[in-house]
Amino acid sequence: MEIEEKVVEGFNMKLFYINRLIIGVPTEVGPRILYLASESEPKKNLFGIYPDLGVETVEGFWKVYGGHRLWSSPEAMPRSYSIDDKPVKIEIENKCITVYGNPEEKNSIRKEIVIKPYGTDSVQVVHRIRNIGRWPIKLACWALSLMEGEGFVVIPIKASKVDNEGLLPDRHITLWPYTDLSDRRLKLTNEFIFVSKNSEIRKPIKIGTMAKPSWSAYIANEIAFIKEFSCLEKEYPDFNCNVEVYTNANLLEFETLSHLESLAPSATIEHTEIWKLVHVGLLKPEPDEIKGKLEPLIIK
C-alpha cells in the first residue's frame, strides 16, 4: 500500500493507494474520507468538497466539508451536527487504516472509520460508533457520501414474496415532508428507484427504502460508484431504511444505514460498505441499462 501526504483542495490529506483506488483521509477534520478516485484517473475526485457550506447550530457553525462521513441515526439537531473540526488520529497496520474521531462528550459517542482492501479491486469501509457514556443509547450507523457531478443514484427494489400467496407487502418507500413525488429528479420503476442531481432545481428532496438486494450505486461521468452492504432481520431507522438519498441544487448525498441497536456503555455498533469503482460508459436512469450493464458487476 502506497501512502502520499498532500494538500488537496485546501485540506491536508493522507492519500492511500489500495486495490487501484485512491482514498484520501483528511488529518485535521473528521473522521472523514474526502477523496475517492481510480488510479487510472487520479485527478478525478468522485466526492464533492464544499469547505464553506454548512449550517448554524447552538454549538457553532457545522461545516459539511463534503466527502464521506459517519453520523448516527436518527437525525436530530444539534446531536447529528456535532462539529468535527479537530485533528484525528490515524493508525496504519497490516494494510488496515483506522481513523479515530474525537469523543463527542455531549452525545456520549466516539466514531471510527476503518479502511482496508477487499478482494482485488474493492475496499471495505467499516463504520463504528462506540458508547462512551454511562447509560444505553439507541442508534444506527449512518454512512453519508457527498457526490460530485450531475449523476444519479440507483437503488434496487425487486419484488419478493414474503408469504406463499403473495398477499403481504414486500417493499416500501420513506418520504420526508419536503419531498414531492412529482419531482422530475425522482423516478420510480418496478425494479429500481432513481434519484438524479439537477443544479437547476433548488427545492430539496429525500427518499429512503430497504434495498433489495443489498447494493446501490451512484453513476456520473461514465463511472459507477458501487456500494454493497448487509441487510439484517432487525429494525432500521426512518421506517426501516438502509439506503437514503438527499439532493438539492448544490449537492447529492448517497447514504446507507445499519440496523438500530441499543448500545450498552462501552459497546460498539458496526456498519460495513464495500466500495468499487467501475467504468460503465454513458448510462441513463433506465431499468434495461442498469440490468444490462451494471448488475453483472455486482459482487452479490
CB atoms within 10 A of CB 2: 9
Cis peptide, bond prior to residue 204, ω within 30 of zero: no
Per-residue pLDDT tens digits for 42-93: 999 999 999 889 999 999 999 999 999 999 999 999 999 999 999 999 999 9
Q: Which overall architecture, per CATH, does domain 2-297 show?
A: Distorted Sandwich (2.70)
Per-residue pLDDT tens digits for 265-291: 999 999 999 999 999 999 999 999 999
**Residue with grid cell 428532496, as numbered in its chain:** 205
pLDDT for residue 98: 98
CA proximity to 188, closest of 229, 153, 143: 153
pLDDT for residue 296: 86
Per-position DSSP letters for the chain, written without gaps between them: -EEEEEEETTEEEEEEEETTEEEEEESSS-SEE-EEEETTBTT--SB-EEEEEEEEETTEEEEEEEEEEEEEES--TTGGG----S--EEEEETTEEEEEPPPBTTTTEEEEEEEEEETTTEEEEEEEEEE-SSS-EEEEEEEEEEE-SS-EEEEEB----SSTT--S----EEE-TT--TT-TTEEE-SSEEEEE--TT--S-EEEEE--BSSEEEEEETTEEEEEE----SS--HHHH-SEEEEE-SS-EEEEEE---EEEPTT-EEEEEEEEEEEE--S--S-HHHIIIIIGGG---
Q: For residues 181 and 193, is the Cβ–Cβ distance under 8 A? A: no
Q: For residues 171 and 165, is the Cβ–Cβ distance under 8 A? A: no
Instruction: Quote the Cα angle for 76-79-82, to 5°.
Output: 130
Phi, psi of 295 (to 5 degrees): -55, -35
Instruction: Report the C-alpha gap between 93 and 126 in whole angstroms.
Output: 15
pLDDT for residue 144: 98
**Cα first-last separation, the chain:** 26
Phi, psi of 293 (to 5 degrees): -115, -30
Domain ranges of the chain: 2-297
pLDDT beneath 70, residues of the chain? 299-300
pLDDT for residue 299: 64
